[in-house]
Structure 1
């Protein structure tokens, strides 16, 4: 049985990301003992909601140069060829390929491109509901989480620690909070 957009209470059609009420964040283990959090300050995208919600699509583009971990030296290193190489690869993109039911939530499956390398990614997707806004528009909220291997995207820089282990983990946890506005 398919779940319709009407069943969820969301209108079909184009919904644009509201970047001022959305976040694209990541977490990486540092020095084997702590976790560093970062985010991207500029991104855009949209969701095209189909009546059969499993036929909906999501497209997003992130300005890789806007990476922020609240440390200028680290951010500059993350922009360098050791990591994102933003001069040669200024954007990170995501294009969904399918949406699958997963209990009360969803799996958002798509292609993530970082540094010109495209890999499949599956995100756990939670629909947070819809609401009218004070300006006569409609809003919808989604949360998405997942993990990627940075090495899968050619990001291999690291340094060994004297005590064993490495400076930066391979695993990157992704946390996204998106507010959409009906176009």
Structure 2
């Protein structure tokens, strides 16, 4: 049975299922097209409190070295000091500081740390529903996106185009498609 509301029965602690989740990003390239990428390794713990949504929390860690834009040369460049500097900053983290839920949208505020720089962000998530999978696991689904300025995180490398503009946009859209699995110790 699938439900479309977060009810008290769904409260508890959850783990992000990386095999059924995606954490990605979109950047404009050469001012004319979008390049999409994702991080293939991440983990996170989520606490859901249906009665007091503001007490819900998220703790997410992303392995920067797992970046994948389907182009090995570009991925290699993104790992360097020009962009994410994986040698000195191997993880991107998000730790929530507040949560508000109106029944359809979860506004999750928190601290996003990229390249050692922490900035406050608020990501709106839509609740996609809940279901029990064939293995008896309680699952919740959320999708969200949020635009950031990469310059806010000290990522300033770029190249000017002969026709005007720059090679890589400052605006990066973060994309989240998250499947949570309820921990069995709070069933």
What is the alpha-carbon distance in structure 1 between the residues aligned to residue 179 and residue 103 of structure 2?
22
For residues 71-102 of structure 1, the C-alpha deviation after alignment (integer angstroms, 9 at most, x for no partner) is 00000000000000001000000001111246
After superposing on structure 2, the runs of 4+ consecutive aligned residues of structure 1 that deviate more than 3 Å are 101-104
RMSD: 1.3
Q: Partner of 2:33 in structure 1?
A: 34
Mean Cα deviation higher: 100-109 or 40-49: 100-109
**Gapped runs of 5+ residues in structure 1?**
1-6
Residue correspondences, number: 177
Q: Give the whole-Å Cα distance in 1 for the aligned partners of 2:128 and 2:75.
A: 32
1:71-110 matched pairs, under 5 angstroms: 71-101=71-101, 104-110=104-110
- Give the gaps of 5 or more residues in structure 2: none
Aligned counterparts, 1:138-177, within 5 A? 138-177=138-177
- CA shift, 1:103, in A, is 7.6
Please state whether the residue corresponding to 1:65 is helix, strand or coil. helix
Q: TM-score, normalised by structure 1?
A: 0.93
User: Retained in 1: the 8 A contact 2:101–2:107?
Assistant: yes
Distance in 2, Cα, partners of 1:102 & 1:148: 24
Determine if contact 2:27/2:168 at 8 Å carries over to the other structure. Answer: yes
1:44 corresponds in structure 2 to 43
SS at match of 1:88: coil
- Quote the Cα distance in structure 1 between the aligned partners of 2:48 and 2:122: 19
Distance (whole Å) between structure 2 residues aligned to residue 71 and residue 8 of structure 1: 39
TM-fit CA distance, 1:105: 1.2
Residue 104 of structure 2 contacts residue 127 of structure 2 at CA under 8 Å; is this kept in 1? no
